[in-house]
Structures are given as structure tokens and as C-alpha cells.
Structure 1
Amino acid sequence: MPILNSIASWLMKKRMHQIELFMKYPVDVQMEWMYSLIRDASNTHYGISNNFSEIENYEQFKSTVPLNDYESLKSLIERTRRGEQNLLWHSEIKWFAKSSGTTDKSKFLPVSQESLDGCHYNAGRDMITLQCNNNPETQLFTGKNLALGGSLKEDQFGDYNSFHGDVSAIIIQNLPMWAEFFRAPEVDIALMDEWESKLEKIAVSMMNENVVSLAGVPSWMLVLLKRILHKKNVSTINEVWPNLEVYFHGGVSFTPYKDQFLKIFDNSKINFMQLYNASEGFFGIQDQLKSEDMLLMLDYGIFYEFLDIKDLSSLDSHKKVINLDLVKIGVDYSMIITTNAGLWRYQLGDVIRFTSTNPYRFVISGRTKQHINVFGEELMVHNTEAAIAAACEKTHAMVKDYTVAPVFMKNNSGAHEWLIEFEKDPNNFDFFVSILDENLKKQNSDYEAKRYNDFVLHFPHVKKMPENSFYRWLKANNKMGGQYKVPRLSNDRKILEEILQLNNEK
């Protein structure tokens, strides 16, 4: 195994030359991908309908191809699921990633072989490449990577069969042999549908293995790790897997969970590497150990565009979309993607903010549909995450989960109601809430203005929730799985009231 580790590490590091090339020539690489995607799909139904063969530059692409969301592409995606091909993409598509976001509507995003090979598998390789580059003494190839994945289901439409499930499950089902050799647990366990039974089987099968890396959503990974600690009757993961060296995480902000992982790992040598992967594609990887922003991966068969979120509701918003060349540091952008699976100028719903343009690094700052703007406060997830982190630091608390919704009062005023489940209670709850409010003001000038003298927005209402309150809501709503997450911010009280009701019924 040491020889294998040395050879594999050397091969992975060779990829760094290609990464350095797109870091040096980012716009050139992106424009090459735009032309390549248009050329490959020029004879598809969508390409013919939108005159792909006549597009010669970005301005023509921007003016010819409309901005899309899931609803505008849904009919073509559904026809593809039922066996029609060459509609959005030129190669056969039979895999569909079921979106596991925070809304009630399921989305089925196409996954082509090109996106599996060129995007998802390349991203898996690059995760390892960057870990090897940052850690010359890595031993990643001497053990197993434990990955929390979802499940798959087969759909039969007459004589045609297609498949849908979590994108992680689609990746596991189709992994190349070299990647499968290092992955765990076994496929029949990894793709189990019933989540609680799956966690139990993973814990039993992996607690005595040599695990060197972990990959999965933080909230569910914590559930698994705590189960393993209980079974092994130990207090830290270092006692279970002494060779564990990196945790690849994504799906939700890591900020509320980081202190819990530091405590449960109790090993300063373990690296945390953030990923930006979604049902639609894989977009970013943390490439520096001392900075949590991510490198925008520019050669995965995805063409990126951006729209300042301040222009989202503008009547001429389509004219204000820009390509990578024009983005600015510190602006919140809605991300628009064109992919090698047939998503054309697709509004992803994610909001990012660039921290650097040489190379292009960014942080995820929220969701276009997950914020609170009932009273003009324009509160976004990155504001609440930073405020919680500050309050936890001051009161030695650990937050497990939370959600926020508006409270409506008389005279057009209101407040924000917070439901928070603590892993570790603050040493002074009232002080925690006060620090939370003060840091929200620091993070967001609109919130600060609305809080002035309680004229529009009153002091936040914060409820401390019993253990597993959010877990019960996920279970009751059939959202048990590695990619499901609790909505952080809502403009209505539906989710918050459901959580409160479940807690009252307990």
C-alpha cells in the first residue's frame, strides 16, 4: 500500500498543472467551453430552436438563448425521462438527480455521461489532488474514503427505463474502478433507501476499518459519527480512525458545525475541505488550508454567468447578466450555469460572492429564494451564520440547527423568530441573543436600519428547542437523507410552525 500511495499521489499532483492553467487563463478557458457546449448541442431540439449554429460570440449567446429556471425546462426534461433523446443534450440521458432542496417541489436534473466523467468524477479527483498538493506526506491511498450517499430508484415509462435519485447515489452507482477501490461502504449499503437503517449498517461495517477520509453533509455526518462513538464506547473519532486526515464537506454552511467536529475529532492534523457540489453540477473546491473560500472550477464542462441579486427583480434583468470577465469582489451574485447535461442558462438559485478574481475564489452567501425580506431587512444566510458564530464564541455555545421566520405585529412592524437547537447551551442565554442581534446589525445595514428604536423590527424572539426537534421535522417530511437540510430562513411561518407543532405533539 505505501507504494500504491506514492504512485497515486504523484499522478494526482500532475493534475495541478491543468488547474494552474485555468487559474492563469480563466476567461479563455470559459469561452472555449461556451463554444464547445453550443457546438455539441447545435443539432438538438433546443439548439435548433435557439439557433445555436448562428451564435459566434458571447453577446449573441446572451441575446439568443433565454434565461431558464426549472419550470421553463421541465417539459423537455420530463420528455427525456420518458425516453425521448436529443432534446436538451446530444447524448443519451437516463440518469436524473432528484433535487433535495428546501422546497416541497421535487426537481429532476439531467445527468449525462459527459457530466459524470467531465464534471463529477473530475471533481472527485481534484478533491484528492488538492489534498495531496497541500499535504505532501498524505496517506490517503492507504485506507478507505467513507462517503455518505443517497439512494436510487428506477422509473418505467412503457418500454423505457430511467433512474432518479440523489446525485451522490448516481455517482456511486457509476464510479470508475479506480475510484471504487478506495470508496466505502459497500454499494449495497451505500445505496440503501431507508436512512436510519443505512446509518446503522454503515456504523457497524466501518467502525473497525482504516478510514482516512470522510465525505458528506455535516449534519448527517455528525449523526453517523456519534453513533460510531457510542458503539465503540470512546469519546473521539481519533480513537476509532487514527489515520483519518481530511473531511470533505458541503451542502450546508459548515460554520454552525465546525466546533462540534473539532471536539469530536480531537485531532489537529485533520483538514476540513469545503466543496460546492449540487444536483446540477460541481462548482468549487477549497484549495487553501488557511482560507475557507473556494476555487471556481472552470474546466468541468460548465459555462458560468452572473447576475447581481439587486437586479433579480428588474424587468430588464436578462440584459444585466455578465460573464466571468466582469464580476467584482464583494458583490452578491445569483449564479447562472450552462452545463454538459443540457441545462442552458439555468438560474441555479444560489448566491455567491467573489473574494478574489486572480484566481477566481468565492464564498456561498445564500439562496435567492431563502432569505428574509418581509420588513425590508434583506437578511441572508451568510448574515445569520456569522452572527451565530459570534454569539457562540462569546457564550461558549454550540448550535446544532436553527431556522428563522417573521413575526407579524401591529402597525406594520414585526420581529424575527428563531428556533435554535443547541449541541451545547450558552452559558448565558440572554447574552447569546443580545450578541446575535448586535452582530446581525454589524453584518447587514438594512437589518440595522429596520431595528432602529424598534420602529420596524423588534428585538429577535429566540426559542431554545429540545434535542432532535429538527430531526423529527425532517423525518415527518420524508427528508431523511444525506442531501436534505433544514431551511434556515423563510419569508413565511410554515416550516417554523410545523417544527413547533411537532415539538408540542412530542
Structure 2
Amino acid sequence: MSLKSFFAKIFAQQIYRKTQLWATNPIATQQQVFEDLIRQAKNTQFGIDHHFDQIKTFEDFSRNVPVRDYEGLKSYVDKVVKGEENVLWKGKPLYFAKTSGTTSGAKYIPLTKESMPFHIEAARNAILHYIHETGKANFVDGKMIFLQGSPILEEKNGVKLGRLSGIVAHFVPKYLQKNRMPSWETNCIEDWETKVNAIVEETFYENMTVISGIPSWVQMYFEKLQQKGGKPVGEIFKNFNLFIYGGVNYEPYRAKFENLMGRKVDSIELFPASEGFFAYQDSQKEKGMLLLLNSGIFYEFIKSDEFYTENPKRHTIGEVELGVNYVLIISTNAGLWGYNIGDTVQFTGLKPYRVIVSGRIKHYISAFGEHVIGKEVESALQEAIIDTNIRINEFTVAPQITPNEGLPYHEWFIEFENEPENFVAFAEALDNAMRRQNIYYDDLIVGNVLRKVVITKVVKNGFQDYMKSIGKLGGQNKIPRLSNDRKIVDLLERE
């Protein structure tokens, strides 16, 4: 055992003990977070507008602070972006994490000096919990790769701006700098395919032990490694034994990954977002991820089947139940209040509190981390057919993760009333419209992670036949505009 792995085990034990202190006292921990947030923000514009000085209990808070999404909070965020201080949180944020928007383009999520450390510590602690549970620490002596966005940042009214993964790259601890790959220069490459090729060249002969990233991106890296080496990744990197992932569901990729690796590898799931780092897998034996209750985030949960009713009940951590689908609502030390991030979770354990990400409150596609929502595909289609004779009866969109050849893509299943004269031009217009709608999708196209949209014609009445086949023809039943799997379109293709 090396000195480094020896001390990693000691550090892991210390972090595990600290985690147990709050994990075994969840309600008191969340109450303390709640009180700290209210106290620190009571003199901000938001705090004054919502009478934080009068808030003593969660009931006071829920009466004064409604549940909002980004659009609902946008008037305050816009002031922060313009450079105003003490708006949502004291002072000014350190960074804006730029993410894909809904109805108003890009979103700017503030990251503060209070919130930023938790993004770094959570990822570190996930690895330390793995070491503590398994006793495996030799991987700390090898090279670790974190596939992420470019660390090159812009500036907006005195605040640095970039993708969260690029911002985090500036906070890699010194003790990991020598082990971390790729190089800074390679990490700054914008084109994804060029970047992956450079990463392959840099890492091929290294002792890679940990690989981390969104599964779809890592898959491309593995495929290129296999092409270069002519053998499974597990043989190229004989000491590669830990895969860390987040952002999308790994299960659709698992079989392909194990084939590419040639063997099974331990994995750790993370639940990060620009709005906060919410959970990580703390055990290889238990289902779900440990919900981080002491990380400057106060959590609320609304049952998803009640979310769109009038005044749905807002539950705190002590009121949740196993197996129920909840919409995740957060208030944070970055100044997000009663904020609906759009994710739904289910609890797999209550001692301690562990969750799985069960989806989004609305239909979406995020097979590659793009977070495409219904409004975006509807707007893109409308834009593509404007000033044409094309007429659409019905449509839905699904990802094709494992095509027979070429890059993955979004597949549009469309029943035309009046078809385009030129399908190639129509597909090009549709893809361009989608890229304008969603910056993540645009990144994936520009970076050659995805190829442009593919259009599949659905026979006349094909959607009706599908709805009839599942017993949902007529009434209030609707075809989902998009889904993150191919369950609907697989049935459509059989019609």
C-alpha cells in the first residue's frame, strides 16, 4: 500500500464519521440549514419582499414563498445578472453557471462563495465513501480522467460565466493535480470529437484508474480507445476499476459499456446540477444515493401526482415516504428560493435518506444530457414549417442511443398531412431550429456527439392506431411530444 492510499483511507474514515453526524440527525440538520438560510438572506431584496424577518417556521416560509421555476424567479435573477448586489443572496455571486433555458433562452444560475465549496466536497466525499466501504484505495495512485466542458470562462457584469463542469475544473484540489487528466490545453478544446481524439492520445499509455463523465460522452471515448488499441478498454487500462457518472440514466448504456470494457467495473452515481449537488451514491450495497442534507440546501418535496393541483402540500424531509414520486423543491445558499428544478425523485431509504432520480415532472429527452423539453420541440417544428405548405397531424420525438451505424441522434416520428417536397432541407431546418432552442443540444451537434435529426414518417392514422392499441384513444389522452426512451416509438414502428 502506498503512502497516498494509506492516508486516503484515514481521510475516508474521518469523512464517513462526519457524514454520520448529520445523516443520523436529518430533521435537526435540515432545520439548522433552514434557519441559517433565512438569517443570512433576510436583508436581501428577496428576503425583504418575502418578509424573511417574520419567518420563524417552515409554515411561515411556505406561506410567504411560493414554489417557482426559473421563469418565476427570473425578475430577481435578471437584477443579479445586471450586476446588482444583495438581490437573492448577500453580495454578488462568484459565478454564473449557464444552462439551457425553457421559454427565455439561456438560464444563469448563481454560484456563491457559500455554495461553491459543496459542489467540490460532494464529489470528493462520494469517492471517500467508496474507499471507506470497500477498502479499495489503490486507484488514488493512478491517473484519473474527468470528461467535462471547457474551463474557459466568459465574464458578465463582473461575474465569471461558464458551464458548471468548466467552472468546477478550476477547483481541482492540489493533491489531485498530478493525477488528473486530460491536460488543461486539451480540456479547453471546444469541438467534442477533436477533444476526445486528443484525450485518447494523451491517456492511451497512462495508468488510468478512475474515469468520470456523462455516460454518452464516455462511451465515445471508450469506442475510440478500442479502435486505437484493438482490444477492450479493460485490457488497455488494466487498473481501471472505478467509473463515476451522473447527469443521465446509466442503465441504457450498461450492457454496451461492459462490452466495451470487457469486464465489470465498480461505479459511483452522482446527482449534481448547476443549482446544487444534491446526492451521491454512498454505498455499493444499497440502492439509491445519499441525499445531502447539510450542504446549504433546504429541501421540500411535492407529490408529483398532486403537483399541478391548487396549493399542493409541501413536505419536509421528515414527512416523505418510500417509493413515492416527489417533485424536488430547493432553497439554497446561492439564492434560489422555493425553486422547482424539474427533477422528480423517489426515496429508497429513510435511515439514512437515499433517493433515485425518477425523471422529470414534464416529458423530456436527456439521453445525452441535453434536457430537451416539450416546448422546445414544438417551437422548433413550428419554426421549421412556417411559410411552407407542410402540415403535421401528429409527432413525437425519441433518442436513438445505439444506431446500427454512425452517431446517435434524435428521431422525429411525424405523421404528415402534407409532406415536405424536400425532406433533406426540412430536416436541416428542423435541426437548426432545435439548436436555437436548446444550447445543450447545439453543443452536442457542434461537438459531434450527436448527428442531426432523423425524420421517420408515420403512416396515416398511425398515432391513432397506437393510442387505440394501448386503450387511450380519445378523451383527454395525448401523445407525449417526447420521451427519454423508445417505448412509444417502438410500438409506432410496428403499426
Contact 1:82-1:161 within 8 A present in 2 as well: no
Give distance in 1, aligned partners of 2:161 and 2:480.
30
Give distance in 2, aligned partners of 1:242 and 1:361.
32
Question: Could you give the per-residue CA deviations for residues 340-382 of structure 1, whole angstroms, max 9, x where no partner exists?
Answer: 111111001000111221211121111012269xxxxxxxx9x
Contact 2:398-2:410 within 8 A present in 1 as well: no
Residues 1:243 and 2:242 aligned together: no
Contact 2:398-2:482 within 8 A present in 1 as well: no
Shift in Å at residue 165 of structure 1? 2.1
Give distance in 1, aligned partners of 2:230 and 2:101.
34
- Indicate the residue corresponding to 1:478 in structure 2: 442
Shift in Å at residue 495 of structure 1? 11
Shift in Å at residue 156 of structure 1? 4.9
Shift in Å at residue 106 of structure 1? 2.1
359, 368, 371: which one aligns with 1:366: 359
Contact 1:155-1:161 within 8 A present in 2 as well: no
Q: Which amino acid aligns with 1:97?
A: A
Residues 1:266 and 2:262 aligned together: yes
* Identity rate, percent: 29
TM-score (norm 1): 0.74
- Indicate the residue corresponding to 1:300 in structure 2: 295
Contact 2:65-2:338 within 8 A present in 1 as well: yes
Q: What are structure 1's unaligned runs of at least 5 residues?
A: 373-380, 386-398, 407-413, 424-463, 501-506
Matches within 5 A, 1:3-152: 3-100=3-100, 105-117=105-117, 119-152=118-151
Residue 150 of structure 1 aligns to a residue whose secondary structure is: coil
Give distance in 2, aligned partners of 1:161 and 1:478.
27
Q: Which amino acid aligns with 2:480?
A: N
Residue 252 of structure 2 aligns to a residue whose secondary structure is: coil
Shift in Å at residue 154 of structure 1? 4.6
TM-score (norm 2): 0.76
Contact 1:69-1:348 within 8 A present in 2 as well: yes
Give distance in 1, aligned partners of 2:179 and 2:321.
40
Shift in Å at residue 21 of structure 1? 1.8
Question: Could you give the per-residue CA deviations for residues 430-474 of structure 1, whole angstroms, max 9, x where no partner exists?
Answer: xxxxxxxxxxxxxxxxxxxxxxxxxxxxxxxxxx77532418969
406, 427, 432: which one aligns with 1:467: 406
RMSD over aligned CA atoms reads 3.5
Q: Which amino acid aligns with 1:222?
A: Q
Flag the 1:134–1:349 CA change in 2: closer, same or farther, 3 A: same
Question: Could you give the per-residue CA deviations for residues 165-200 of structure 1, whole angstroms, max 9, x where no partner exists?
Answer: 221111112334234343221223223322222112
Shift in Å at residue 286 of structure 1? 1.4
Residue 129 of structure 1 aligns to a residue whose secondary structure is: helix
Contact 1:152-1:193 within 8 A present in 2 as well: no
Flag the 1:287–1:39 CA change in 2: closer, same or farther, 3 A: same
Identify which range, 45-54 or 328-337, moves more after superposition: 45-54
Flag the 1:362–1:265 CA change in 2: closer, same or farther, 3 A: same
Flag the 1:96–1:156 CA change in 2: closer, same or farther, 3 A: closer
Q: Which amino acid aligns with 1:301?
A: G
Aligned residues: 415
Q: Which amino acid aligns with 1:130?
A: H
Shift in Å at residue 493 of structure 1? 6.5
Q: Which amino acid aligns with 2:293?
A: L
Shift in Å at residue 101 of structure 1? 7.6
Flag the 1:238–1:490 CA change in 2: closer, same or farther, 3 A: farther
- Indicate the residue corresponding to 1:210 in structure 2: 207
- Indicate the residue corresponding to 2:227 in structure 1: 230
Q: Which amino acid aligns with 1:145?
A: M
Question: Could you give the per-residue CA deviations for residues 32-59 of structure 1, whole angstroms, max 9, x where no partner exists?
Answer: 1011111111221111221212211211
- Indicate the residue corresponding to 1:491 in structure 2: 480
Flag the 1:172–1:493 CA change in 2: closer, same or farther, 3 A: closer
Give distance in 2, aligned partners of 1:285 and 1:92.
28
